[in-house]
Amino acid sequence: MPGDVTSQYVDNHLSWIDDSSGAAVLDSMEPPVSDEGLAASDEEYIRCYEGAVVKPVSSFTDDLTGLVFVLKREYSPASGWCDSDDVSFHVATFWVSRDSELRGEGCSRAKAVRDHCRKIARRFQELYRKLPEEMDVKEASDWNLLLEGIDIEKTLAAWPTRARQAVEVVADHPWKVLPYGGVEADIELEDAPDGFERLKAGDWITAVCVYDAETHELIGIESMRPREPMPKLTASEAKEMLKSMRKTSGLPPIDWSDI
């Protein structure tokens, strides 16, 4: 998503210029404030003014989590200007209505769009953890609304897998790691957290490993802390451990005819 932008008129068209890069990031075919539009919410007594139509997007990245959300089609984030008795702010939506809780709000168009992306991302992740039959009416309604715009299959396929694992450093300069239960992989320092460069072959860490969603290859380590090597279990320890375990013979018996 773009950072802060300022608007400029170029050839009678309004363009939004990214403050940091100077590039045009949003285009409009009409001035930002024109006729009075529909009220966003009757209860809130907010008056909306139709604004510009900005450059269409087919996906967006949640800037808090870095997760990519793939949309079912291109959407131009319809943006507008709202003012109530006390505050004035921009609003932005992709496919949801202006009075939705998911609408984006901000002091600039870009911030409103970004806020909208964040709200979609947050709500999606809340509801994604539930099965449809576990949702209440409101949640089911929101989930269906989200699925109107989000291509869930492509979105989930694009998300990397993150998992906490015990990892052995098997080589240094350059570094190779072997997550326990995984496969050996090269790791670049730029893909590893601070302090990784001090690790030597034979060190063990507990790390949040990030894997490519398609290839399942290790693409980076997000965070880490040192840990003891995965212990070897001696035969006597194993025997002692087994002895201390409860046995399934202690589970309730059931007759074959009752199964």
Partner 1 sequence: MVHRVECLDVGQGTCNLIQLPGNRFIVIDVGPRGGGWQVLIDRLRLDPDLPQESLPVIEVLILSHSHEDHIGALSSLLESGARIERILFTDDRPIRDDHPALRVIQDAARRGKLSMDCVWSTIETDADGPRTVFQSADPDDEPNGRVALTLLHPDGIYAKKARERGQPNLAFAILHMRVGDHRFLFPGDAPLDAFEVVSDNFGRSVELELMAVPHHGGKTWNGKLSPGRRTRLQKLFQERFRVKSAVISIGSANSNKHPFESVIKALLEAGSHVLCTELTCRCWVNDLDEARELTLAHDPPHYHGLSRKTRPVGKATNVGCASTVVVKFENRVPVIERRSELRGVVENLKRSGSPMCTVN
Q: Which residues bind partner 1 (CB under 8 A)?
A: 128-129, 131, 133-134, 153-154, 156-157, 161-166, 179-183, 206, 208, 211, 214-216, 227, 230-235, 237-239, 241-242, 244-257, 259
When the beta carbons of 45 and 128 are compared against partner 1, the nearer one is 128
When the beta carbons of 39 and 67 are compared against partner 1, the nearer one is 67
Query: Min. distance of Cβ 8 from partner 1 in angstroms?
Result: 39
Query: Min. distance of Cβ 10 from partner 1 in angstroms?
Result: 38
From CA 10, how far away is CA 22, in angstroms rounded?
A: 14
When the beta carbons of 88 and 125 are compared against partner 1, the nearer one is 125
Identify residue 234 by its one-letter amino acid code: T
What does the block give as tokens for 259? 């199964």
From CA 180, how far away is CA 206, in angstroms rounded?
A: 10
Query: Min. distance of Cβ 125 from partner 1 in angstroms?
Result: 9
When the beta carbons of 174 and 250 are compared against partner 1, the nearer one is 250
Q: Which helix (H) or strand (E) holds 141?
A: helix 137-149
Query: Min. distance of Cβ 150 from partner 1 in angstroms?
Result: 16
Q: What are phi and psi of 217, to 5 degrees?
A: -85, 150
Torsion 133-135-137-142 (CA) sign:
negative
What does the block give as tokens for 186? 């090269």
When the beta carbons of 35 and 214 are compared against partner 1, the nearer one is 214
From CA 69, how far away is CA 155, in angstroms rounded?
A: 5
Query: Min. distance of Cβ 157 from partner 1 in angstroms?
Result: 5
From CA 228, how far away is CA 80, in angstroms rounded?
A: 56
